[in-house]
Chain A
Amino acid sequence: MAVSVDEAVSTRPARDRTPLARRFGGRGRSVLEVALLTVLAVVMLFPVLWMIETSIKENRDVYAIPAKFFDFQVTLDHFKDVFVASGGGRSTLSAAFLNSVVVAGASTALATVLGVPAAWAYSRFAVKAKKDQLFFILSTRFMPPVVVVIPIFLMYRQVGLIDTKLGLILIYAAFNVPFTIWMMKGFVDEVPAEYEDAAMLDGYTRLQAFWRFTLPLLLPGIAATAVFALIFSWNEFVFAIFLTSSDSVRTAPPAIAGLIGGTTVDWGLVAAASVVFALPVLVFAYLVRKHLVAGVTLGAVRR
């Protein structure tokens, strides 16, 4: 969800402004449009640009006052530091990235395996109080993570899931299953039920009909949904920082945040780690850009 919110922020001003701009008509409108979009782009992209610049600056340029925008020494040392520890061997940050990959991948796989069949069932079968059930499923997403993290922490301590990757995988999957169900239900609704009916008349069982004829048609939708779940798990910070503590378990977001604080902050390293962290999200967001807004609203609104 984190990414779809970001996306909504960047598109909303453009959409809200349209009626106002229309009053100016023709050229005045397009000038205003370009001006506002430029301001917006600068405001939104400057931190990103600054992060990228800092990640490739020599340390003395990082701390230079006044700040250097263009004439700085380029270095890739910070990126090396992200992956290689100062004494050689793997750095704790690289372990954190690996943890993030494992946790995000496993929780997404789990949410997909549980959510897709559920979405199919909600789409195809007459379930009692279907609307109420779907609302209940969605309502689990209403609660901000900060609110539930303390009870989750206490429960996890009881069952020994504190500071384990499995604990994070489970909680992320729990958050992604409702999203997967809602988004996938929209995709399943789009596939005519007659394919399964025809397959059952052909002699297949209901599950075979789903597996052989409906599932292949759902693959693009599953891919888009999984990317959203992946991005959520990848970006998640609150649960990660509360529920994990050791370097061997900690995911990238709390690990990067942990670099800030103490007496001196190696901003070059922070920036380089952030760039590495942001790259997969950018790639995946690019892959599902068509679904970013359309997919979410289609899956959620259409009932």
Chain B
Amino acid sequence: MGTVAAHGLRKSFGKVQALDGVTLDVPDGSFFVVLGPSGAGKTTTLRAIAGLEKLDAGSVRLDGRDATGDTPAARDLAMVFQNYALYPRHTAYENIASPLRARRCPASEIATAVERISGLLHIEGLLRRRPAQLSGGEMQRVALARALVRRPRAFLMDEPLTNLDLKLRVEMRTELTRIHRSLGATFVYVTNDQVEALSMADQVAVLKEGKVQQVGTPAEVYERPANQWVAGFVGSPPISLLPCHAEGDRLVGAEGWTLPRPRWTTAEDGRPLLLGLRAEDLSVEQRGDASLSGELYGLEPLGDRTVVDVRVGTEILKVKARATVTGTPGERLLVTVDLDRAHLFDAGTGLALSEAGR
């Protein structure tokens, strides 16, 4: 068992409201990612679950039992810190053995457990070194081993890959997913990297300014963002948002363009809206009748693809195109829009419009 439920977490540091009613329900065995920009309250949420942060309000339940007042030790959790927090005067072996020693396991049991986990993470050769003699990637593995050496209720991970270089990060992403699958344990994983969130998570909670914006599978968060902010935060290149309103069976842009109104749109005429268009749902090739006219603003070649920046009025649309696309800035072109995949948000509240009937 390993369910983690946080309800109505509130915490302020001086005048800063770090957590403003955060509620999360982490099912047993899931890889649950808390995603948000820096300062969103992700780490504070994790520390509150771990018992390292005293809450102003709210409760933490572990396996259905109220653990709000429990010490970190009593909660039976393991955590990987962003800066690894390896004990500098202890060897890698002693670091990994620490959770077992703290719980007074017999020495033979500790040796077996450390051996098993260091084999799993390929760090057998590092066990006698101290943290100062380890590279960043090696420290990360040792920190991971210290968490994984035990079978706690749940594993808490605070941006464990942030301090690694890109190649190592991609490797560790795959490895963490593999470990999660083989252990079948509950992971609560905090990151500001949406790629990590989308690629590893069973469930994603998007956090902003101490409030949960949306909880769902990676696909749900990406395909049906609950509001304009989530749409803008998740996805790369970022979604393009165009001010507009509905008029009969047309969507009329603030810049004068018109598009057919998506069938599912429920907004009354004249209400200020934002049309959200992801780069992959736009095309600079002629593929349909719904199109916007603009001029080429710039090209961002990414190797396998090129992102074309198209200026429509004063707004810039990001369009994914083939790597072979060419053009000169200022050139007129038409951008085809896949309206079935477009998003509409209320310009005032930022909330996604009801998608019933879509």
Q: Which residues from B are CB-within-8-Å of A208?
A: 102
Complex Cα spacing A195 to B83, Å: 10
Q: How far is the CB of B142 from chain A (nearest CB, A)?
A: 12
Q: How far is the CB of A133 from chain B (nearest CB, A)?
A: 16
B residues engaging A (CB < 8 A)?
Answer: 47, 50-52, 71-73, 77-79, 81, 83, 85-89, 98-99, 101-103, 146
Complex Cα spacing A195 to B20, Å: 28
Q: Which residues from A are CB-within-8-Å of B99?
A: 201-203
The answer to whether residues A217 and B89 also contact, given A194-B81, A197-B52, A198-B81 and a CB cut-off of 8 A, is yes
Residue A50 interfacial (CB < 8 Å): no
Report whether over half of chain A's contact residues are helix, strand or loop; otherwise say mixed: helix
Complex Cα spacing A70 to B101, Å: 67
- Structural contact, B52 and A192, CB atoms closer than 8 A: no
Complex Cα spacing A206 to B83, Å: 20
Q: How far is the CB of B95 from chain A (nearest CB, A)?
A: 9
Q: Which of A195, A201, A216, A217 contacts B79 (CB 8 A)?
A: A201
- Structural contact, B98 and A195, CB atoms closer than 8 A: no
- Structural contact, A203 and B87, CB atoms closer than 8 A: no
Complex Cα spacing A198 to B126, Å: 20
- Structural contact, A201 and B50, CB atoms closer than 8 A: yes
CB-based closest 9 A-B pairs: A203-B102, A194-B85, A200-B72, A198-B85, A202-B99, A202-B102, A203-B73, A201-B79, A202-B98
Q: Which residues from A are CB-within-8-Å of B85?
A: 192, 194-195, 197-198
Residue A199 interfacial (CB < 8 Å): yes
10 additional A-B pairs beyond A192-B85, A201-B52, beta carbons within 8 Å, are A195-B87, A197-B47, A197-B85, A199-B87, A199-B102, A200-B71, A201-B79, A204-B102, A205-B71, A205-B73
Q: Which residues from B are CB-within-8-Å of A195?
A: 85, 87-88
Q: Which of A198, A199, A203, A213 contacts B103 (CB 8 A)?
A: A203
Q: Which residues from B are CB-within-8-Å of A202?
A: 73, 98-99, 101-102, 146
The answer to whether residues A200 and B83 also contact, given A217-B88, A217-B89 and a CB cut-off of 8 A, is no
Q: How far is the CB of A298 from chain B (nearest CB, A)?
A: 20
Task: Give 11 pairs: A residue, B residue, CB < 8 Å, sorted on A.
Answer: A192-B83, A192-B85, A194-B85, A198-B79, A198-B85, A198-B86, A200-B71, A201-B52, A202-B73, A203-B99, A205-B71
Q: Which residues from B are CB-within-8-Å of A201?
A: 50, 52, 72-73, 77-79, 99
Complex Cα spacing A213 to B86, Å: 10
- Structural contact, A204 and B73, CB atoms closer than 8 A: yes
Q: How far is the CB of A268 from chain B (nearest CB, A)?
A: 51
- Structural contact, B87 and A213, CB atoms closer than 8 A: yes
Of listed B50, B73, B78, B79, residue having the most chain A CB within 10 A: B73
Q: How far is the CB of B220 from chain A (nearest CB, A)?
A: 31
Q: Which of A198, A200, A205, A206 contacts B87 (CB 8 A)?
A: A198
In the complex, residue of chain A having the shortest beta-carbon distance to the beta carbon of B143: A198
- Structural contact, B89 and A216, CB atoms closer than 8 A: yes
Of listed A195, A199, A202, A205, residue having the most chain B CB within 10 A: A202
**A91-149 interface with B by 8 A CB criterion:** none
Q: Which residues from B are CB-within-8-Å of A217?
A: 88-89
In the complex, residue of chain B having the shortest beta-carbon distance to the beta carbon of A213: B87
Q: Which residues from A are CB-within-8-Å of B72?
A: 197, 200-201
Q: Which of A200, A204, A205, A216 contacts B52 (CB 8 A)?
A: A200
- Structural contact, B81 and A197, CB atoms closer than 8 A: yes
Q: Which residues from B are CB-within-8-Å of A200?
A: 51-52, 71-73
Q: Which residues from B are CB-within-8-Å of A192?
A: 83, 85
Complex Cα spacing A204 to B99, Å: 8
Complex Cα spacing A197 to B79, Å: 9
Complex Cα spacing A202 to B80, Å: 11
What 1/0 flags go to A183-217 for Cβ under 8 Å of B? 00000000010110111111111101000010011
Complex Cα spacing A217 to B47, Å: 24
- Structural contact, B98 and A199, CB atoms closer than 8 A: yes
Q: How far is the CB of B249 from chain A (nearest CB, A)?
A: 59
In the complex, residue of chain B having the shortest beta-carbon distance to the beta carbon of A214: B87
Of listed A192, A197, A201, A206, residue having the most chain B CB within 10 A: A201
Complex Cα spacing A208 to B144, Å: 22
Q: How far is the CB of A302 from chain B (nearest CB, A)?
A: 20
Complex Cα spacing A205 to B70, Å: 11
Q: Which residues from A are CB-within-8-Å of B50?
A: 197, 201
Complex Cα spacing A157 to B146, Å: 59
Complex Cα spacing A194 to B163, Å: 16
Q: Which residues from A are CB-within-8-Å of B146?
A: 198, 202
Q: How far is the CB of A93 from chain B (nearest CB, A)?
A: 44
Complex Cα spacing A160 to B217, Å: 75
Complex Cα spacing A206 to B78, Å: 16
Q: Which residues from A are CB-within-8-Å of B103?
A: 203
In the complex, residue of chain A having the shortest beta-carbon distance to the beta carbon of B50: A201
Complex Cα spacing A206 to B72, Å: 9
Complex Cα spacing A204 to B101, Å: 9
Q: Which residues from B are CB-within-8-Å of A197?
A: 47, 50, 52, 72, 79, 81, 85
Q: How far is the CB of B301 from chain A (nearest CB, A)?
A: 41
Q: How far is the CB of A198 from chain B (nearest CB, A)?
A: 4
- Structural contact, B83 and A194, CB atoms closer than 8 A: yes
In the complex, residue of chain A having the shortest beta-carbon distance to the beta carbon of B152: A201
